[in-house]
Amino acid sequence: MNPKHVVFKKISRDKSVAVYMAKRDFVDHCDFVDPVDGVIVIDPAQLKGKKVYVMLSCTFRYGRQDMDVMGVAFRRDLFLVTRQVYPELQDKEKLTHTKIQKKLLKKLGDNAFPFFFEFPDNLPCSVALQPGPSDVGKKCAVEFEVKAFCAEHQDEKIDKQSSVRLSIRKIQFSPENSKVVPVTETTFEFLMSEKPLHIKLSLPKETFYHGEPVKVNVEITNSSSRNVKDISMSVEQVTNVVLYSNDKYVKSVAKEDTTDSVPSGTSLKKDYTLYPLLAYNKDRRGIALDGRLKHEDTNLASSTIVKDEVLKEVQGMLVSYKVVLRMIVSYRCVSVFYSEVSVELPFRLMHPKPEPGITGVCVCVCVCVCVCVDNLY
């Protein structure tokens, strides 16, 4: 029995060009990045002698698309490359790099032409800051896009009637499991207290997967003359917008407040479980999310892994996570004095590397239709 493959199809308004791609998620494996490849289908009668180009872009937006402050546009193309696909500058065989392209070219006929791009090593992954319920316009984000268009030459203004835009994502999966066990130990010494307060914070592993509970082990030895109470645990997401202003957003994405206490001269050993999920952070402005394709759900942004010799400023936004333990320390001397102490422990939140499998073929142009393609393979 021949397999059927669901195909998502869009067409440009003048029906002059279509883009076929086997996937929309491209993985950064740290030592290399999946190339972007696909097939363009044209209608020569609609082109009227124009050329067809394909563009791959990576854009950083700091807010609304039309925002401009003192002549500085808060939008920057981190990467932009354009290639002519019709008329052909090379033989189709030289531009065909994958089996999917070969099969699509055979299926779609003589008016189909391949394209192929490679990502440079220094580009960030897709990420966006979640807007608030009342926010309008473009959100702060790093976005990737494939665009096909018809024009006399590649630098002229693009006509929306004869162009195709397809959002894609650059994503990163968790590297191989590290044997590192995150742990931190801190000693607090207080005035008029002969002995200290000792805190140990540990996690069972360095990397947690999206949707997985984060289990934290806490050990407190209170040899001081202070009393400890109101212990709370939280997971904090730290997002640094490094491209323009080095803004920092620190958001608690999971928290557990307790009435646990450790009186002077006692100790506590306890496990806490936290659930850093987007479901608990809907509509909260400033939460960093993984890049989202239209009509698809997403999740909290994955931790950023910056490669060696890559400037952090080029990354647009850097996302990291940490577990934070906070507690109130009290001391009675005529009246009661309170102070807060805290301990932090960083970790990674990422997607697991998926098992190798067959991906479906996505066909895109402008109006979405779902069809089945028989015998593609």
Q: What are the tens digits of pLDDT across the range 192-210? A: 788 999 999 999 999 999 9
The confidence score (pLDDT) of residue 305 equals 85
Paired residues of 370 in beta bridges = 8
Cα dihedral 60→62→64→68 (10° resolution) = -100
CATH (one of 3.30.70.270, 3.40.50.1820, 2.60.260.20, 2.60.40.840) for 8-172: 2.60.40.840
Instruction: Give all strands (DSSP E) within 138-296, no chain letters.
Output: 141-151, 163-172, 183-188, 197-202, 207-209, 214-222, 227-241, 247-257, 267-274, 288-290
Q: Give start-end residues of each CATH 2.60.40.640 domain in the chain.
A: 183-350
The answer to whether 308 and 121 have CB atoms below 8 angstroms apart is no
Question: Which pLDDT belongs to residue 333?
Answer: 64
* Closest of 310, 311, 298 to residue 351, by C-alpha: 298
pLDDT value of residue 319: 93
Task: State the pLDDT at residue 138.
Answer: 66
Specify whether the CB–CB gap between 364 and 350 falls below 8 A. Answer: no
Phi-psi region of 58 (alpha: psi -120 to 50; beta: other; left: phi over 0): beta
Those residues whose C-beta lies under 8 Å from the C-beta of residue 312, and which sit 6 or more positions away, are 242, 306, 318
- Residue whose C-alpha is closest to residue 189's, from 180, 178, 198: 198
- Our separate counts of H helices and E strands in the chain read 3, 24
pLDDT of residue 312: 62
**In which order are the strands placed within the sheet that holds 112-117?**
112-117, 36-42, 17-21, 362-364
Listed as ranges, residues in the chain with pLDDT below 70 are 1-12, 63-73, 135-138, 243-246, 294-296, 308-314, 333-336, 355-377
3-state helix, strand, coil in the chain (%, to 5): 5, 50, 45
Contacts of 279 (CB under 8 A, 6+ apart): none
What residue spans in the chain does CATH classification 2.60.40.840 cover? 8-172
Cα–Cα distance measured from residue 129 to residue 139, given in angstroms and rounded to the nearest whole number: 7
In the beta sheet, which residues pair with residue 273? 215
Instruction: Name 358's Cβ contacts closer than 8 Å, sequence gap at least 6.
Output: none
Q: Which of 8, 4, 5, 6 is nearest to 295 (CA)?
A: 8
Query: Which two tokens mark 264?
Result: 């002077």
Q: Which CATH number is 183-350 given?
A: 2.60.40.640
pLDDT value of residue 6: 43
> In this structure, is the dihedral angle defined by the CA atoms of residues 285, 289, 291 and 293, taken in order, positive or negative?
negative
CB atoms within 10 A of CB 85: 24
Beta-carbon contacts of residue 340 (< 8 Å; ≥ 6 apart)? 326, 327, 328, 329
**Separation in Å, CA 278 to CA 185, 216, 254:** 30, 20, 10
